[in-house]
Amino acid sequence: MSTTVRTATAVALDGVTRVYSSRAGDVHALRGVTHAFPQGSFTAIMGPSGSGKSTLLQVAAGLDRPTRGEVVIGGTPLGGMDQTGLTKLRRTAMGFVFQSYNLLDALTAYENVALPARLAGRRVDRAAVLEALRQVGLEDLARRRPPELSGGQQQRVAIARALHLRPQVVFADEPTGALDRGSGRQVLELVREVSDEQGQTVVMVTHDPLAASYAHSVLFLADGLVVGRLDRADATRIAAAMSELER
C-alpha cells in the first residue's frame, strides 16, 4: 500500500488475509480483503456464520493481527506497531461497543464513561463526560451503577464511553444483540446520529437486517471475501441479499 493515505479514509484494509491453524488444518478466515471505510461513514458488516465478519472487525481494530496485508487507521499503519503502541492507539483513536456492554458494575455510569481517559493517563474532563452522557440521554443517571440500569441504558452508557474522547472510528460488535426491539432501535438511531451529525466513522458487525438498515452501506462477506455491497438499503433488501448468500 502507498504510504500516502487519503485523509477522507478512516480505516483502510489492503490485501488483508487471516489464517488460523487448527487440528483440522489451516482456516482461512479472511482471504485478501481490500476495502476503505470513508471518514464519517456508518458501515454494517454482514455474512453467514463463519464468513469472517468478526475477524474483519478484530483485525481492523488492531485486536488481531493479519497474516498478510496491512491495516491503516487515520493514516497510521498498524503493521509496524508493537503491542504497547497498538494499545495507545486504540485508547486514543478508537471506541468500542460490544453486545455484552463490558461495563464495570462497581463503577457509576459517569466513572465507566471516564475510564478510557483514566487508562490513557489523561485528565478526566468532567464536562466532556457529562456531555457524552447527555448525548445518550442519561445525564440524570450519571451516579447509577450498571445493575441499576436497563439493558438499553447500559448500552447507551457503553456508547457514551466509546464516544466521549471523540475517536476516529467506533467499532461495534452486535451492539443490539442483547436488547429488545425498542431499546435496539434507540441505540441504532443514536449510532446513526453520531455518524451523520458528528462525523464519527462506525464499523458495525450485525446479523440483523433491520439493524444493518440504519447504516449508510452494508458489506457482505462469504468465505473470507467481500462479495457484495448495498447502499442506503432497507431491511427487506438486506434480508434478501443475506438469503442469497446462505443458499
| pLDDT confidence of residue 2 | 39
Question: What residue segments make up the domains of the chain, in order of their start?
Answer: 39-62+81-246
Q: In what order do the strands lie in the sheet with 9-22?
A: 25-38, 9-22, 68-73, 76-77
Condensed to tens digits (0 to 9), the pLDDT of residues 157-206 reads: 999 999 888 889 999 999 988 888 898 898 899 899 989 988 899 999 99
- Average pLDDT, stretch 213-241? 97
| pLDDT confidence of residue 65 | 95
| pLDDT confidence of residue 240 | 97
Q: Kindly report the CA angle at 12 between 74 and 211, in degrees rounded to 5?
A: 100
Share of the chain above pLDDT 70, in %: 97
| pLDDT confidence of residue 171 | 96
Q: 81 pLDDT exceeds 60? A: yes
Condensed to tens digits (0 to 9), the pLDDT of residues 82-110 reads: 999 998 898 889 999 988 889 999 999 99
The three grid cell numbers given for residue 176, joined into one nine-digit string: 443490539
Domain 39-62+81-246, CATH homologous superfamily name and number: P-loop containing nucleotide triphosphate hydrolases (3.40.50.300)
- Average pLDDT, stretch 213-237? 97
